[in-house]
Amino acid sequence: MEPENPASGGRRKTSGRRKRPSQIGLEGLRRPERGGQVPLYYQLGEILKQRLEGGGWEPDTLFPSEREIEEYFDVSRAVVRPALSLLERDGDIYRRRGSGTYVSAPKRRVPIRGLIRSLREDPFNGSRIAILRIRRQTNDQTIADFLDVSPGQTVAQVTSILRIDKPICIIDSFFPVARVPWLLAAAISLQGGEQPVLGESPSLGRIDASFESSSCGPWTAKSLGARTGDPIFIGRLFQYGFSADQSGERPVELTRILARSDISQLHYEAASSLERGRGRSR
C-alpha cells in the first residue's frame, strides 16, 4: 500500500496503545480545510502555532500527543508529524525522550534598533547591554560611504551584547562621532560599569532595516551561548536623524544585528517610532 501524502487530506488511522493525555486542550481550534492548495500539515502547524503564540498554553506544559491531535483534527499521523516538526524547528515546542512533547518558553522580543535607541528607550524589562569592544576609525571607506561622512571624520564602532535573561543578540554599531557626540562617552561609561549620560541630539527619524536568516559561526555561538550552526537572524539597520543645524535627515548610525532566532522574536513598532522622530524634528 502506498504511503499517505500529508497534502492529500487522508484521514487518520487509530492503532496502538493510548498515551497519557496532555495537560492542555485543543477545544475551540478550527480544523484544516481539505481540498485546497495549502497542504494539511502546513495548515495544522499554523493553527497550533497561533495558539502557542497567543500565550494560552503555559511553558513546560505537556503538549497534546500525536494521537490526541489526530483524533481532534481528524487527520492522519502523516499530517501530524510534519506539522509538529515545523513547530519544533521554530522553537515553539520541544521533546523529551520517553516523556513527550512540551510547550517552549515564549520567545524574547528583540527590539529592532541600534545602540542610540537601545540606550534612550528601553521598554523591554530585564534587558541589559554589555559592551564588548569600542574602537575609533577614520580609514574605512565602505562605512564612511554608508554613513555619508567626509574623509578623515572619525567613525566609532561599538560592539555589544543585548541580554534578556540570557544573551540574545549582538549589536555592532557604527556612528559618526560628530553627529552623536554623547554616544561614545556613554559606551565607555557602560563598559566601565558606570551609569551613562545620554544626550538629546540628534532627533531620530526613520529606520531602514533588512534581515536574512543565517547560522552561528564559532565566535557568535560562544558569545550568545548557542552552538555553531544554530539559526540566527542577521540584520542591517540604518538609523536616520535630524541635527539642529540641518533641515534634512542623515544617517546617524549603521547597526549590524545578529539575533538567535530559536529563542527570539524581532519586534518593531514602526508607527510610534516614526511619530517620535517627526515630533522631535519640528
Identify any residues that bridge with 163 across adjacent strands, giving them in sequence order: 128, 167
pLDDT above 90: percentage of residues in the chain: 49
Query: Average of pLDDT values for 164-193?
Result: 92
How far is the C-alpha of 97 from the C-alpha of 181, rounded, in Å? Answer: 55
CATH topology of domain 1-105: Arc Repressor Mutant, subunit A (1.10.10)
Identify any residues that bridge with 64 across adjacent strands, giving them in sequence order: none
pLDDT digits (tens, 9 = 90+) for 18-47: 455 566 788 889 999 998 899 999 999 999
| Interstrand relation of 231-242 and 250-260 (parallel, antiparallel or unpaired) | antiparallel
In degrees, to the nearest 5, what angle opens at C-alpha 216 toward C-alphas 210 and 217? 115
Which CATH superfamily does the domain covering 108-281 fall into? Answer: Chorismate lyase-like (3.40.1410.10)
Chain region(s) in the chain for CATH 3.40.1410.10: 108-281
pLDDT digits (tens, 9 = 90+) for 203-217: 898 999 999 999 999
User: Which pLDDT belongs to residue 270?
Assistant: 59
The answer, yes or no, to whether residue 279 has pLDDT greater than 50, is no
Query: Chain-wide mean pLDDT for the chain?
Result: 83
The answer, yes or no, to whether residue 155 has pLDDT greater than 80, is yes
The answer, yes or no, to whether residue 8 has pLDDT greater than 50, is no
